[in-house]
Structure 1
Amino acid sequence: MARKLGILGGSGLYEIEGLQGAAWTEVETPWGKPSDAFFTGSLNGLDLVFLPRHGSGHVHAPGDVPYRANIDAMKRLGVTDILSISACGSFREEMAPGDFVAIDQFIDRTVGRPSSFFGSGCVAHVSMAHPTCPRLARAAVAAAREAGATVHEGGTYLAMEGPQFSSLAESRMYRESWGADIIGMTNMPEAKLAREAEICFLTLAMVTDYDSWHPDHGSVDIREILATLAANAGHAKGTVAAMPGLLDHETPCPHGCDRALEHAIMTKPAARDPALLAKLSAVAGRVLEA
């Protein structure tokens, strides 16, 4: 199966340049309307799908992003790999504003966001022990470095609810007691939903600030964040442009991301809710129809 790369753009990345056969595509899902239309096309031989996570004009707050609709639509469009590019704060001196971090772990502190496609009528439990795809990470790290970015391989992303930034006490706790490296507001439940949809997933975090723990930086300044995002936009676009030459276009995922539902569904076929099964047709059709 040929790979198709989905890009979830957050603050600072609202468009992809240079696509051949580019078109905006509306996708209907049983989980509601996605954040926006999808920008589709081909980039140097790799089919690509781009979605601005917050919508055109940045209209969706982190807690209001229609995460299930976004991931379901990506699956319907044939996406096999998702690169989530997100603006984040840093808890580590060495992960400085302007740097990129390829995330390999998450701590989920979000509340009130639907975090699963499954539920009563069809129960499933997927593993999140290793929530990002190493194969996709290798390609993204190489692409970002080719684009001129400083990249850190591996890091723990703490997903907070927001939309407010952390208090000083929270920032210190996340950094010193919990061992988090990066903090953001949007990559949960994205990573969980991508795993349930059997899509390879990677967060490439763009560091914009030191949150509030740093004694020389104090509180988060939105003006500084915007300035850093503007400076990093070129690196982000360059990373996407380099991905086609670095991502394996044909081989199934060697880490099993594309088979995450293989033994995950617990509800016996006779007890499954037909209405929920209809909603799961895209993300779980491979196993439900087997």
Structure 2
Amino acid sequence: MGLLAIIGGSGFKSLPTLEQLDARQLETPYGETSAPVTRGRLGEAEILFLPRHGPSHHLPPHCVNYRANLWALRESGADRVVGLAAVGGITPAFGPRVLSVPDQVIDYTYGRAHTLYDGDAGQVEHIDLTEPYCDSLRQALIEACSEAGRAVVPHGCYGATQGPRLETAAEIRRCERDGCDMVGMTGMPEAGLARELGLCYASLAFVVNWAAGKSGSVITMKEIEENLGLCVEQVMAVLTVTATRC
């Protein structure tokens, strides 16, 4: 069995309790990764870690090289990937500091390199994305939440928007009509590319604010950063159990 890889999002340019063993900058057919791939120990388990936005959180969502990141993780020995996701809550169950393991995604992004099959390889593949997340890894995350004593919403539809700006209230109303429970900026093309690469991929989402128009107040970075800080311990507890179980 291969290694579990964790892709860190906002609030997770590093993993606080990860004991680093080494870090490698890999060359990929798709250019540079966001950062070197770190191999380390989380609890008793060896894992891989890659910060999606770079070591100094300098890459906006639409500039992340998702293809290079996932390719490098697979080449480093990963067969399972957990993508951490800071999100805005849309429907009532998804308030600030709630953890969720989404089961569906709607892609509103554009202009991103979203497939490995761009014509350069001389072939086209049409992957099935009916269920965009790996069910076995989703269940492992849900069970880890229970074992770690952390409440979780074990489902949810993630709406992936372009960013880096936050959405308008009208855009959030559209997302809600479409069936989205939460909104973020990095869920796609990450999930689709993982499927193309044969990786078992799931997301651990944590709500850092109500989405536009859902709280009656203006969204501030102070609010987001405060909620991010409060989510770190919860997320790390769940990841440590997940790494041991996988």
Distance 1:36 1:166, change over 3 A: same
Counterpart code for 2:70: I
Rounded to whole Å, the distance in 2 between the matches of 1:149 and 1:36 is: 30
Tell me how far 1:44 sits from its aligned partner.
4.7
User: Which ranges in structure 1 are unaligned for 5 or more consecutive residues?
Assistant: 248-290
SS at structure 1 position matched to 2:40: strand
Tell me how far 1:138 sits from its aligned partner.
1.2
Rounded to whole Å, the distance in 2 between the matches of 1:21 and 1:179 is: 40
- Counterpart for residue 115 of structure 1: 114
Rounded to whole Å, the distance in 1 between the matches of 2:152 and 2:15 is: 21
- Counterpart for residue 102 of structure 2: 103
**Which has the higher mean CA deviation after the structures are superposed, 25-34 or 45-54?**
45-54
Moved over 6 A (4+): none
Is 2:8 the counterpart of 1:9?
yes
Tell me how far 1:20 sits from its aligned partner.
5.3
Larger Rg computed on CA atoms: 1
- Counterpart for residue 27 of structure 1: 26
Rounded to whole Å, the distance in 1 between the matches of 2:149 and 2:51 is: 23
Rounded to whole Å, the distance in 2 between the matches of 1:219 and 1:141 is: 32
Tell me how far 1:107 sits from its aligned partner.
0.4
Rounded to whole Å, the distance in 1 between the matches of 2:53 and 2:18 is: 21
Counterpart code for 1:135: S
- Asked if 2 retains the 8 angstrom alpha-carbon contact of 1:211 and 1:219, the reply is no
Counterpart code for 2:158: Y
SS at structure 2 position matched to 1:22: strand
Give aligned-pair identity as a percent: 32
- Asked if 2 retains the 8 angstrom alpha-carbon contact of 1:91 and 1:213, the reply is no
- Counterpart for residue 126 of structure 2: 125
Rounded to whole Å, the distance in 1 between the matches of 2:18 and 2:143 is: 21
- Asked if 2 retains the 8 angstrom alpha-carbon contact of 1:92 and 1:210, the reply is no
- Counterpart for residue 55 of structure 2: 56
Equivalences for residues 99-248 of structure 1 within 5 A: 99-120=98-119, 121-175=122-176, 177-214=177-214, 216-247=215-246
Counterpart code for 1:28: E
User: Which ranges in structure 2 are unaligned for 5 or more consecutive residues?
Assistant: none
For residues 227-256 of structure 1, what are the alpha-carbon distances to aligned partners after superposition, in whole Å with 9 as ceiling and x for unaligned? 000011111111111113322xxxxxxxxx
Counterpart code for 1:13: F
**Which has the higher mean CA deviation after the structures are superposed, 21-30 or 165-174?**
21-30
- Asked if 2 retains the 8 angstrom alpha-carbon contact of 1:34 and 1:73, the reply is yes
CA-based RMSD: 1.5
Tell me how far 1:19 sits from its aligned partner.
4.4
Equivalences for residues 66-105 of structure 1 within 5 A: 66-105=65-104
